[in-house]
Structure 1
Amino acid sequence: MDKSTKNDKQQKSNNVNDDAICLKPKMGLMNGINVIIGCMIGSGIFISPKGVLSGTGSVNMAIIVWLSSGIFSLIGSYCYAELGTMITKTGADYTYIMECFGPFIAFLRLWIECMIVRPCNTAIIALAFSFYTLRPFYPDCDPPGFAIRLLAIVCICLLTFVNCWDVKWSTRVQDFFTYGKLLALCTIIITGIVQLFKGNVEYFTFKQDPLVENVDISTIALSFYSGLFAYNGWNYLNFVIEELKDPHKNLPLAIFISCSLVTIVYTMTIIAFHSTLSVADVLSAEAVAVTFAERLYGWMAWIVPVFVAMSTFGGVNGILFTSSRLFFAGAEQKQMPEILAMIQVNHLTPTPAVIGMCLLSLIYLASKDIYALINYVGFATWLAIGLGVACLPYLRWKRPDLHRPIRVNLIWPTIYILASIFITIVPMIADPKGTLTGALIILTGVPVYVIFIAWKNKPRFLQAIFDNSTLFLQKLLVVVPSEKQAKL
């Protein structure tokens, strides 16, 4: 085939794809970087570094945990760069696990992530947004609970509309609020550097604070949960890879730049906090960043709640954007309702999947046990990501023929898998009751899998109900199945 014929065929392919109703690659490198940073930097670094400090007992050890958590996330993201450029399908580790370990294990990952982890996180971050948006209006007391939940509902519904209307709108929102949260952290870091130059270094020690008792290997392992929770989101760009331009080039670049930047910013932010705040100050603070601002910014302390509100608003947008694609990927694999794999014909967005994520998040807003649910299934998140990384050596063994634009040295997935086993098993030993509760929650997916997925020959009347419901929603939302394989 000569060059001109090849180019004509490629141009024809591109034209067909341009006309197809499917998820379009609209995100460039900067959008990809902002998606990862926007998802990683939420409320955690502003509000609760005390989770790490309560398990380590000293400032220097806490800094090591924060830095190690960042390096750990960077190693995982490096492994995901090979997987993402090799399997360019929406869904990230769900898709990788499906390819390697089959539909049942993949469904359990999908079940716990879609039904609990993602909507719970969305609800929690929306509540944080509401609290810090209203905080300046209630300087002497906490805002009313009803007002907090009402504003959280408005936040989720508004961002759901944005994500349903246009992918470019949602990426612009993500870009703007990502720059806002980086500005907030840079302000804190610069303030901390000034404090260090003034000689405020007395809190930087490995000496265990008397307020923290019984520090051992298990409490340090548990402290990694808090650190890693703050870094959570480094793998989210893999969930939307079909919407990333030139993913073979932009995915690894976006991952490396964003994860490296967040690791540096987080570590410097913790150092900045402790240039002014002692262990006791941090452990007693409701929101560490607010306490830091009240000590140093005087009447300008109100800017920190505003920064936190901006950060959490962008965090909600990022989770809605990426999580809806996980619903979409599950529906494409016939492990979620068919309607969730459909595209809005005018806006080319996965509207049903976005709305599904929204509705689940609103349901969890009414719950008083959101944080307990996250704690119960937290080990499953890191276990699943570790299993996703394990797909890399597995595919090297089983599918050496796959095209690999990036080829990671196997020492890195080995380190990540061993570390994942450690941070998963040690907390299980430290909290067996919570682990058992989490395992039981995960196992609720087994009967769902058996009834709705494994059972193929359903009664005709039951199948008719499913089909009619899908058709009704399809007409209501004006959506059609994605045309992923356009024929020439």
Structure 2
Amino acid sequence: MNEGARRDSSDRNTKNGEGKLHLKRELGLVSAVSLIAGTMIGSGIFMSPQWVLYYMGSPGASLLIWAACGILAMLGALSYVELGTVIKESGGEYIYILRTVGSLPAFVLAFTSVFAVRPASIAAISLSFASYVVNSFYQDCPSPQVVEKLTAAACILVLTIINCLNVRLSAFIMNFFTAAKILVLLAIIVGGIVLLAKGNTQGLRNAFENTATGFGPVGVAFYQGLWSYDGWNNLNYVTEELKNPEVNLPRAVMIAIPLVTCIYLLANVSYFAAMTPQELLSSDAVAISWGLKVLGGWTWIISLGVVLSTFGAANGTLFTGGRQCYVAAREGHLPDVLSMAHVKRLTPSPALIFTSAIALIMIIPADFSSIVNFFSFTAWLFYGITISGLIYMKIKQPDIPRPYKVPIIIPVIVLIASVYLVLAPIIDSPQLEYLYVALFILSGVIVYIPVVHYKWSPRCFRSITLYLQLLLEISPADKND
């Protein structure tokens, strides 16, 4: 879109009294905590425990992995808090890499994240939601895969409509579903405490027997555990919509992540109190198997809790994923139309619709395990690059005002962990899919040269942008001060 059309469109909007369109600061501390915790608590805690146990071989080692994942998420989040209070812009890793490392790596991240990582995460969570919903109607036989995929697609479409309509409505859904899923997990925890009090400790006897110690298995177990912690960085994607970010960003992180870590550890202990390791490994849905043993006819409460949990997590992931797409377009790394917002509702609807469309496509061939591995591999590669930028800033620019500051040892630990998580599965068990991922990331470099460096754009894009502005009632938006 040319500058004249952009200026004319902006002049028609007076949402902030200065003729400029902005996304509103609608998220307070409660919504911030809900965004982090609600996105972290999704399908993982109900599906990943068996896989962490499978790769680690023993209950004790599994619990150590869950605790280590929580500590790593906390260290990463604290590092991101410093970045978020110095670079007060939305976009998460993308904007941090752009400001600290450069345009090319930031574009490659945006290209990979917008076209693969974020939609894959939304698709995976939606498929988990659909699996629990559909299986409740097919209790005596396997549920049809096409029905699950259609249900997952319906979930994505409903959430897209909600997020396009109103930020407050999205925040309300985050708060409500976060509270609901925590209540269900508390029920699981209380049930486990009762079982332990009755002496049901067989699942935790010889806790470290048969523990795996290989370089690769530990890395893959971390992948499965960290899938459940994914979302620790989500608040950094919406910094411009957060009220008083210098205060609420660190507070939300320090409340949400320790809370989720404690819940995860206690939920796993409850699983082991109710089931032997062999029973847990043979379960396709750990939470449901736990419910059948402990709650009997009331197992439907767990099923409902999983449905609410995955729906809320999908909402948070879409909410933040759309913002990253929006910010990348605002910086000139994606088509202009994706940087626009609805003139009345003040939501980045084009970016949300685009992210949802790719997620819908990914549902078609997807299965849960492959999506987790793909997401973890690429995500931790860019986490490492982001943390490298923070370390560079701390060494080369020590005098920059920092409302919040972490000791340099914390980002160094996160950087070492990210390198390990990228290399461990490749070294231990090389697979062709890792080559495909690497080629996809490198293809971003090829796209960058004509699209960003030489600013090539098809002539039809301007007409398409103007048409979509009229159709969707959208206009270019600026950063919040």
Q: TM-score range by the shorter chain?
A: over 0.9
Residue 291 of structure 1 and its aligned partner are, at CA, apart by: 0.6
- 1:451 and 2:450 are equivalent in the alignment: yes
Q: Which amino acid aligns with 1:482?
A: A
Counterparts of 1:33 and 1:17, CA distance in 2: 30
Moved more, 275-284 or 339-348: 275-284
2:306 pairs with 1:308: yes
- Read off the aligned partner of 2:448 and give its amino acid letter: Y
C-alpha deviation, 1:421, in angstroms: 1.7
Matched, 1:267 2:265: yes
Residue 135 of structure 1 and its aligned partner are, at CA, apart by 2.5
Q: Residue 436 of structure 2 corresponds to which residue in structure 1? A: 437
Partners of 1:19 and 1:195 in 2: CA distance = 62
Q: For 2:98 and 2:360, how far apart are their aligned partners in 1?
A: 29
Instruction: Name the structure 2 match of 1:109.
Output: 109
| 1:8 aligned residue | none
Classify 1:370/1:289 alpha carbon distance in 2 versus 1 (closer, same or farther; 3 Å). Answer: closer
1:245, CA displacement in angstroms? 0.2
The answer to whether the Cα contact below 8 Å between 2:341 and 2:476 also exists between their aligned partners in 1 is yes
Partner SS for 1:343: strand
Confirm whether residue 470 of structure 1 aligns to residue 471 of structure 2.
Answer: no
SS for the counterpart of 1:339 is helix
| Kept after mapping to 2: 8 A contact 1:55/1:215 | no
User: Match of 2:394?
Assistant: 396
Q: For residues 177-206 of structure 1, give each alpha carbon's deviation from its aligned partner in whole angstroms, at most 9, with x where no partner exists.
A: 111110111000000011111112222234
Deviation at 1:365, TM superposition (A): 1.5
Counterpart code for 1:436: L
> What's 1:118 paired with?
118
Amino acid at match of 1:444: S
Aligned in 2, Cα 1:126/1:18: closer, same or farther, shift over 3 Å? farther
Aligned position for 2:474 = 479
**In structure 2, the residue corresponding to 1:444 is in which secondary structure?**
helix
Q: Which residue is equivalent to 2:178?
A: 178
Q: Is the 8 A contact 2:100 2:390 kept in 1?
A: no
Which letter maps to 1:59? P
* Alpha-carbon distance in structure 2 between the residues aligned to 1:361 and 1:275: 37
- Distance, in Å, in 1 between the alignment partners of 2:121 and 2:411 is 27
Contact 2:469 2:475 in 1 (8 A): yes
Show the counterpart of 1:284: 282
How much does 1:436 deviate? 2.2
1:159 — aligned with what?
159
Question: Is 1:159–1:317's contact at 8 Å kept on the other side of the alignment?
Answer: yes
Shift of 1:15: 9.3
Cα deviation, residue 316, structure 1: 1.0
Counterpart secondary structure, 2:89: coil
Deviation (angstroms), 1:362: 1.0
- Aligned partners of 2:308, 2:41: CA distance in 1, in Å? 11
Q: Normalised by the size of structure 1, how large is the TM-score?
A: 0.92
Deviation (angstroms), 1:218: 2.3
- Structure 1 residue 17, shift from structure 2 partner: 6.0
**Secondary structure of the residue that 2:459 maps to in structure 1?**
helix
What residue is the counterpart of 1:29 in the other structure? 29
Q: What corresponds to 1:416 in structure 2?
A: 414
1:216 aligns with 2:175: no
**Relative to 1, partners in 2 of residues 1:369 and 1:47: Cα closer, same or farther, differing over 3 Å?**
closer
Deviation at 1:428, TM superposition (A): 1.8
User: Which residue number in structure 2 is paired with residue 238 of structure 1?
Assistant: 236
- Cα displacement (A) at 1:38: 0.9
CA separation in 2, counterparts of 1:78 and 1:368? Answer: 33
Relative to structure 1, the CA distance from residue 376 to residue 43 in structure 2 (aligned partners, 3 Å threshold; closer, same or farther) is closer
Q: Is the 8 A contact 1:48 1:286 kept in 2?
A: no
Number of aligned pairs? 466
SS in 1 for 2:341: strand
Q: Is the 8 A contact 1:116 1:373 kept in 2?
A: no
Cα offset, 1:352, TM superposition:
0.4
Matched residues in 2 for 1:454 and 1:431: separation? 37
Distance 1:369 1:145 in 2: 11
What per-residue deviation string (whole Å, max 9, x for no partner) do you get for residues 365-384 of structure 1?
Answer: 22246743542453221121
| RMSD (Å) for aligned C-alpha atoms | 1.9
Q: How far apart are 1:312 and its partner, in Å? A: 0.6
* Change in CA separation of 1:78 and 1:17 when aligned onto 2, cut-off 3 Å: farther
Distance 2:478 2:109 in 1: 26
**Pair 1:368–1:15, CA change in 2 (3 A):** closer
Give 3-state SS (helix, strand or coil) of 2:113's partner. helix
- Structure 2: segments with no counterpart, 5+ residues: 1-13
Corresponding letter in the other structure for 2:125:
I
Return the offset for 1:296: 1.2
2:203 partner SS:
coil
In structure 1, which of residues 299, 317, 324 is the aligned counterpart of residue 297 of structure 2? 299
Instruction: Tell me the distance in 1 between the aligned counterparts of 2:372 and 2:440.
Output: 11
Question: Any residues of structure 2 matched to 1:18-417 within 5 Å, and which?
Answer: 20-204=20-204, 205-209=206-210, 215-368=213-366, 371-376=369-374, 378-417=376-415
Quote the offset at 1:431 in angstroms: 2.4
Q: Which shifted more, 434-443 or 387-396?
A: 434-443
8 Å CA contact 1:119–1:364 kept in 2: the answer is yes
Hey, what's the Cα distance between the residues in 2 that align with 1:131 and 1:269?
21
Question: Which deviations, in whole Å up to 9, do the C-alpha atoms of 1:210-248 show, x marking residues without a partner?
Answer: xx8x65232112211111111010000000010000000
Aligned mates of 2:444, 2:285 — CA distance in 1:
36
Which 10-residue stretch deviates more, 334-343 or 394-403? 394-403
1:100: how far off? 1.4
Q: For 2:414 and 2:169, locate their aligned partners in 1 and report how far apart those are by CA, in whole Å.
A: 36
CA contact (8 A) 2:26 2:168 kept: yes
Q: Distance in 1 between matches of 2:229 and 2:303?
A: 21
| Structure 1: unaligned runs, 5 residues or longer | 1-13
Cα separation, partners in 2 of 1:373 and 1:138, compared to 1, 3 Å: closer
